[in-house]
Amino acid sequence: MTPTQLALITFFGRALIYLSLSLCTTALHAARIPVSDKTVTTQTRALSASNDKPFEKIEIARFSNGELDDWEEKSFKGSTRYRIRTDDDKGQVLHAQSNAAASAIGRRVQIDLTKTPYLNWHWIINNRLEGINEAARSGDDFAARVYVVKTAGVFGRNSKALNYVWSSNKPQGSVWSNPFRPKNSKMIAVRGIEHAPGQWASERRNIAEDFIRLYGTKVNLVDLVVIMTDTDNSGLSASASYGDIFFSSQ
């Protein structure tokens, strides 16, 4: 990792670096960091739920349809390889392969958590990252993570991020602060050491409640959803796959 990359990551934190790169177009062009001007819109569907109450669903990722165009990639060190491939059980999914590298793909959206507070996804990891301390900067690597960001402040300095990770060495339910930006990025082990690699898992998190629980504040809007498989700090290798992602009212 170059001194410039390390300084950026240390200052903003990984969950906020992506945000900063997306928001500050002028500053980034001056720093010769490319930024896409593509804007993203979301679609809301009204469906009939089993209890006959209105059910809203906002699709964030439709990898099952082979769609990846609305996602932008940012590299921190090298590049994690993200591509659509066919899984025997799930059909088309997003596959990620990282070899001592770190890059993320993200989609800029605006989600009203008062209407659709639940984030839904499914994922699988193929291997753990053994022997690392995930709470330290030297071990801040994960075979799979999905995170959401609420933007705030100049350069995103007051932003808040929730990192949902598949931990290699912590038990499910563990919570800790990101070692690069402890006040602005919280880590949640949705899957942990007790969950074996090679098995698909489905997740559903109430984002609004998690913001209150971990930050003690109510958040009504989030602006960014990011997927990341990274191994640059440990120098190891990991691979994972991600299924469709959506927000829902229930």
pLDDT tens digits, 118-143: 999 999 999 999 999 999 999 999 99
> Quick one: average pLDDT of 215-230?
97
Percent of the chain with pLDDT strictly greater than 90 = 74
Amino acid 32 reads: R
Both tokens of 65, joined, read: 């349809």
In this prediction, residue 152 carries a pLDDT of 84
In this prediction, residue 36 carries a pLDDT of 35
> Quick one: average pLDDT of 236-249?
98
- The pTM score is 0.82
CA dihedral 206, 209, 215, 221 (to 10 degrees): 70
In this prediction, residue 103 carries a pLDDT of 97
Specify whether the CB–CB gap between 152 and 160 falls below 8 A: yes
Low-confidence winner among 26-30, 47-51, 179-183 (lowest mean pLDDT) = 26-30
Assigned architecture for domain 3-248: Sandwich (2.60)
- Rounded alpha-carbon distances, angstroms, from residue 65 to 43, 72, 87, 90, 243: 16, 18, 13, 12, 10
Average pLDDT of the chain, as a whole number: 84
Specify whether the CB–CB gap between 154 and 95 falls below 8 A: no
Confidence of residue 59 (pLDDT cuts 50, 70, 90): very high
Specify whether the CB–CB gap between 94 and 207 falls below 8 A: no
Confidence of residue 221 (pLDDT cuts 50, 70, 90): very high
Domain parsing of the chain, residue ranges: 3-248
pLDDT tens digits, 152-207: 876 678 899 999 999 999 999 999 999 999 999 999 999 999 999 999 999 999 99
The closest alpha carbon to 160, from 184, 182, 183, 179, belongs to 184
Measure CA of the first residue to CA of the last residue in the chain; give whole Å: 42
Specify whether the CB–CB gap between 163 and 187 falls below 8 A: yes
CA 240 – CA 35 distance, rounded (Å):
26
Amino acid 24 reads: C
Amino acid 42 reads: T
In this prediction, residue 6 carries a pLDDT of 42
In this prediction, residue 28 carries a pLDDT of 27
Strands (E), the chain: 44-48, 54-61, 72-77, 81-87, 91-99, 102-112, 118-125, 142-150, 160-166, 175-177, 185-191, 201-206, 221-230, 237-248
